[in-house]
Chains A and B, each alone.
Chain A
Amino acid sequence: MATSLVITSGKGGVGKSTTAANLGTALALMNKRVCMIDLDIGLRNLDVIMGLSNRIIYDIVDVVMGRARLHQALIKDKRFDDKLYLLPAAQNTVKNIISPMNVVDIVNQLRPDFDFILLDCPAGIEQGFQNAIAGADGAIVICTPEIPSVSDADRVVGLLEQREMKLAPRLIINRINRSLMNEGNTMDVDEITKHLSIGLLGIVFEDSNVILASNQGTPIVMNPDYNASQGYRNIARRILGESVPLMTLKEHKPGLFERLFGKRSRKH
């Protein structure tokens, strides 16, 4: 039976869809069966980040309106055998066509076939947000180390706590610029976590490769070499209950030897 998690933030553009895509992929890579649902009706993104746009035939609105059955609308991501599916949002309809009950219904139909259902929430706290949290057992709140983002996250956590979900909300701090944070020019991880007083699920560094990867339709987490990729993989492991230490904020500054002789200096 699947656990359903909504990925939400209040503020727009802080990385909800990117997180949904990368966590979905990371969990699938760890052999979990995952279904991602894009609930940003009218502004769908998740399919683009996953590189699945051209395969959309039906979307969630078609399912709700009875024009398609649920399994017809699910897109299977062929890169991961039978592990990863996407229920895309509609691109050309008005948002209010879907109700919280519809989402609860769809999630419950999917539960027996999956380990995780990830709900990509639209920005804001209106109807679309209500729809997304209605179907969730728990929430992952995304924020960036900026005051407006933390403040919106705070608002959202308040609304989530009122609903008394099965699982307590947890936090991901995204787009951390290490040198800015180390120099004290942005709120730091501890400050943000303490302020929001919810558990920290993980951190993801600012990494331009995230944008490149999204543009190519291959979530960055598929390539383990990048910093951001490691962040998402660690988060996925924590979701599965492993305890993984937080990535260090320290920047690697090459010492004199290393600068002079590069890696060679180590061989002696």
Chain B
Amino acid sequence: MDSVSLKGRKNGYEINLNANANFDDNITDLLNLLQRLSQSEQEDHGDLDFFLNTGRRLLDEPQIQRIQALFDKFQHFKLAHLAADVLDKSQAQTQVRKQGIHAEMSVIRSGQEVVYESDVLFLGNLHAGGVLKSTGSIFVLGQCEGILYAGYPDNDMAVIVGDISQATQVRISDTIEIIDPKRQHFSKDTIALINDLHVLDFDTSDHLLALRPKLYRKMEDNL
């Protein structure tokens, strides 16, 4: 039985490589398929894109190169996409970490920087001179005297929620605000965010749904 199957697509083809078959068989069958296609396709069609799916088989680098080499033999065939239905464990873990919300409970001391690639629920103690940085949003329940940096390096949609009155600075994406409790009024449910004019601005967290609906829903799902 053939270990590869073909489906037409606009401007190209989708090919499924059967993960239950031997990978060498996949390669042989794929080569045959491509040869047949190149004979039947008209020259004037221009370049054809191929979308390959390996099902439940995860390819390693040499295997990917073998497939790429097959396509290099045909001038008008382009390997546009190569994917599997499964994920590497470490990749999966990184994704989970990016999606979920991470609870941080430690003491971040002067000179220390703690970095997250996710939203962070901060329950710890951020000392003056310390930095809590995340690519996502930061929800503060602990004490903050240092620098809070959300949306690092360029996520404008990130917010910082909670009591930031003691913090030295808050930063979101490429904006910075030096906190001066004498000048601004902060409460336990202050929300810092970048407004439409791309200026770091403050509001109260009951407006989170209106201001950042996506984030609001994500929080609802996670907590």
Contact = CB atoms under 8 A, between A and B. Distances in A.
A161 B110 CA distance: 12
Contact of B107 (A151, A155, A197): A197
B69 to A, nearest CB: 48
Interface string B177-204: 0000000000000000000000000000
Interface string B88-118: 0000000000000000000101111000000
A14 interface: no
Interface string A145-167: 00000011011011101000000
Secondary structure class of chain B's binding surface, majority of residues: loop
B188 to A, nearest CB: 20
B111 A195 contact: no
A155 B125 contact: no
A26 B125 CA distance: 36
A152 B125 CA distance: 16
A154 B129 contact: yes
Secondary structure class of chain A's binding surface, majority of residues: helix
Contacts of B111: 155, 158-159
A197 B127 CA distance: 11
Contacts of B125: 197
Which of B110, B112, B130 is the most central at the interface, judged by chain A CB atoms within 10 Å of its CB?
B110
Contacts of A159: 111
A158 B131 CA distance: 13
A61 B128 CA distance: 38
A128 to B, nearest CB: 17
Nearest to A158: B109
Interface in B121-173: 125, 127-130
Interface of B: 107, 109-112, 125, 127-130
Given A154-B127, A158-B111, A197-B107, 13 more contacts: A151-B110, A151-B127, A151-B129, A154-B109, A154-B110, A154-B128, A155-B109, A155-B110, A157-B109, A158-B109, A159-B111, A195-B127, A197-B125
8 contacts: A151-B127, A152-B110, A154-B110, A154-B127, A155-B109, A155-B110, A155-B111, A157-B109
